[in-house]
Amino acid sequence: MQTDIFSPSYAIARNRFRETALNLGASVESFAIDQKGPNNEELTIDFALIGANQPKWIVIVSSGLHGVEGFFGSAVQLAWMQEVAANGGLRVNTDGAVLLIHAINPYGFAWLRRTNEDNIDLNRNFLLPNESYKGAPSEYSLINHFLNPKSPPPLFDFFILTAIRNILRYGFATLKQAIAGGQYEFPEGLFFGGRSPAKSTQIIQACLPQWVSSANQILHLDFHTGLGKWGNYELFPRVLSDPSRYIWVFKQFGLDNTGGEAPYQSQGLMGSWLAKNLAQKNYIYFNAEFGTYAGLKVLASLRAENRAHFYGKSPNNHSQAQLYEAFCPQSHQWRQSVLIKGFDLINKALKVCSQMHENL
């Protein structure tokens, strides 16, 4: 598989996505988030529906909820569409379709950030009606000055040493939960969930249910990177009810467990919101996490980029390049491996979803 399928920029990725989808005869629509990219280009979330017009079952493949992580998801979407084109079209029965959603956080994708235009982690922004945009875990508040220093990046950063000291003091599991679980108190901090639904969140909430309205069976793969073992993936389900459905799906995927234990508990997850709002359908969501570097290294690059973004002297090219590497390694071997696995996952999802539809 060609690794040059990884686009060098958001603008190129978006053009390739739209062009390839249109050539496949897909229904394509763009939704602007009213922000501009580095070359003054428009930033949009792009939907492409391939297959039946009024599908009964749909596989959703989404990319770029976390901006810079979209380089990978976008590459898999493109590789998959090119393969479909090479095979003369999508070979599913007339009831099925694939909905590709490109760059849910186009700002972060274009500007090489994980967060959106307001430093919001969109996967902490999809709150349910009984939740509020308030609060932070107490441990987060305790280490806020260390996680989010209000000073320019120094020449030498003793992040790892201090991180280890904090891990010894608070415990690894507690810290992981406190940091990655999300917070609503520190708008310049990591994993900030926002103060209200972001523009991207509003677009997904308004549009996604419409695009899948005719279907009663939906299998959603939401592509992410930066968590897990190098070049491998894990599927994290959002189980609200009926875990037996997920166990069955895992078996069909050829995975011998019931999925990874969720790495942390958080509110505001897109999958939870969709599961709740598509509850009348048989909707199954997986956060497909593809591993890159070790957790501390990924966190170090997030922290350095965030610090440079708010307090560095522009331009912060070095920390941006580090962040890009943390979420989309240049390694040819990594790219080859995740492309093949991501591609394979979409095809498996198609089989599983059509089978579930038949069993309904």
DSSP, collapsed to helix, strand or coil, labels residue 285 as strand
Instruction: State the minimum distance, in angstroms, from the CB of residue 63 to Zn ion.
Output: 10
Instruction: State the minimum distance, in angstroms, from the CB of residue 66 to Zn ion.
Output: 4
Residue 227 near residue 263, CB atoms below 8 Å: yes
Question: With CB under 5 A as the contact rule, which of the stretches 22-30, 61-69, 189-197, 199-207 interacts with Zn ion?
Answer: 61-69
Token pair 């599927």 is found at: 235
Residue 124 is a binding residue for Zn ion (CB under 5 A): no
Instruction: State the minimum distance, in angstroms, from the CB of residue 64 to Zn ion.
Output: 9
DSSP 286-332: EEEEEE-S-HHHHHHHHHHHHHHHHHSPSP-HHHHHHHHHHHS---H
**CA angle in degrees (0–180, nearest 5) for 122-205-118:** 30
Task: State the residue number with the nearest CB to Zn ion.
Answer: 224
Closer residue to Zn ion in complex, CB, 306/354: 306
Closer residue to Zn ion in complex, CB, 18/124: 124
At 251, which amino acid appears? K
Closer residue to Zn ion in complex, CB, 184/191: 191
Residue 59: beta bridge partners? 98, 219
Taking CB under 5 A as the criterion, the residue among 124, 220, 224, 238 binding Zn ion is: 224
Closer residue to Zn ion in complex, CB, 69/234: 69
Instruction: State the minimum distance, in angstroms, from the CB of residue 69 to Zn ion.
Output: 5
Q: How many residues bind Zn ion (CB under 5 A)?
A: 3
Closer residue to Zn ion in complex, CB, 14/66: 66
H or E, element range at 227: strand 217-230
Sign of the Cα torsion 254, 257, 263, 267 reads positive
Closer residue to Zn ion in complex, CB, 16/224: 224
Instruction: State the minimum distance, in angstroms, from the CB of residue 111 to Zn ion.
Output: 16
The 13-32 contact track toward Zn ion, x by CB under 5 A, reads --------------------
Return d(Cα 267, Cα 283) in angstroms, integer.
Answer: 19
Instruction: State the minimum distance, in angstroms, from the CB of residue 179 to Zn ion.
Output: 14
Closer residue to Zn ion in complex, CB, 69/95: 69
Question: With CB under 5 A as the contact rule, which of the stretches 26-34, 170-178, 222-230, 272-280 interacts with Zn ion?
Answer: 222-230
Instruction: State the minimum distance, in angstroms, from the CB of residue 121 to Zn ion.
Output: 9
Closer residue to Zn ion in complex, CB, 51/193: 193
Contacting Zn ion within 63-82 (CB under 5 A): 66, 69
Return d(Cα 310, Cα 180) in angstroms, integer.
Answer: 20
At 13, which amino acid appears? A
Return d(Cα 41, Cα 16) in angstroms, integer.
Answer: 15
Cβ count within 10 A of residue 145: 9
Sign of the Cα torsion 244, 245, 247, 251 reads positive
For helices 172-180 and 138-147, what crossing angle results, to 10°? 80
Return d(Cα 99, Cα 283) in angstroms, integer.
Answer: 14
Question: With CB under 5 A as the contact rule, which of the stretches 18-26, 60-68, 195-203, 351-359 interacts with Zn ion?
Answer: 60-68
Residue 54 structure tokens: 């009024």
Closer residue to Zn ion in complex, CB, 72/80: 72
Residues that bind Zn ion (CB under 5 A): 66, 69, 224
